[in-house]
Copies of this chain bind each other. A is one copy, B any other.
Amino acid sequence: MRVPDHIGIIPDGNRRWAESKGLSKEQGYTHGLSPGVKLLRLCKEVGVNEVTYYGFTTDNTERPPKQITAFRQACVDAVEMLANEDASLLVIGDRQADEFPDELESYTEERQPFGNNEIKVNFLVNYGWKWDLNSLSQADEVSRRKLKNQLNSNQVSQVDLVIRWGNRRRLSGFLPVQSVYADFYVVDEYWPDFEPEQFYEALEWYDKQDITYGG
């Protein structure tokens, strides 16, 4: 089986899940925490080398304050839970902004190894595609080969497979440069309803794709 080297995860549908359970929207986020850890363990089992989670984005700051607080806290909790796994962790996002949680500062400088350091994990927090690309303008001369190195997210490698939960079929600003050739798989269920079968089905689908890179 051809296993993707790097998987991007868009864990969408927390608020819709909460509503469907009769909860208030902001109560959905905490139910997305344990799926993140379960998924990471599955990725290690099948031999994935790198996983990137789409957490809080600069676009999300338009949401009601209660939701923003809950979403940011869930991102902090998620990173701290992932730091208990065998993984090397990096948090990527605009940490100059007030919205960036202080608790995650220490994860932003360089990739931090935890446990047996078996897999790379990137967590996007206060990430924005504009923020990511803005750094290109700071470079003196960007050759075609070096473009990726100049991104604010330059420590994130090319994404092979994006899996989005919650039925929507769009990237919503997720790593536009690294995802140019990513295969895009959509799970209809909301993220808090994560099941291992959804992940395995995505892998089976990916295995059947013909990767050409335009050739």
- A interface residue numbers (CB < 8 A to B): 57, 59-60, 62-63, 129-131, 133-134, 136-137, 139-142, 144, 147, 150, 168-173, 176-177, 179-185, 209-210, 213-215
Contact = CB atoms under 8 A, between A and B. Distances in A.
A147 B133 contact: yes
A139 B62 CA distance: 29
B177 A181 contact: no
B184 A215 contact: no
Contacts of A168: 183, 209-210
Nearest to A147: B130
A136 B60 CA distance: 25
Contacts of A130: 144, 147
A131 B4 CA distance: 27
Copies of this chain held together in the complex: 2
A170 B184 contact: yes
A63 B63 CA distance: 46
Contacts of A184: 169-171, 184
A141 B139 CA distance: 11
Nearest to A215: B62
The 9 lowest CB-CB distance pairs between A and B, nearest first, are: A59-B214, A137-B142, A136-B136, A62-B215, A176-B176, A173-B180, A169-B184, A130-B144, A137-B139
30 contacts: A57-B214, A59-B214, A59-B215, A60-B214, A62-B215, A129-B177, A129-B180, A130-B144, A130-B147, A133-B133, A133-B147, A133-B177, A134-B144, A136-B136, A136-B142, A137-B137, A137-B139, A137-B140, A168-B183, A168-B210, A169-B183, A169-B185, A170-B181, A170-B183, A171-B182, A172-B181, A173-B180, A173-B214, A176-B176, A176-B177
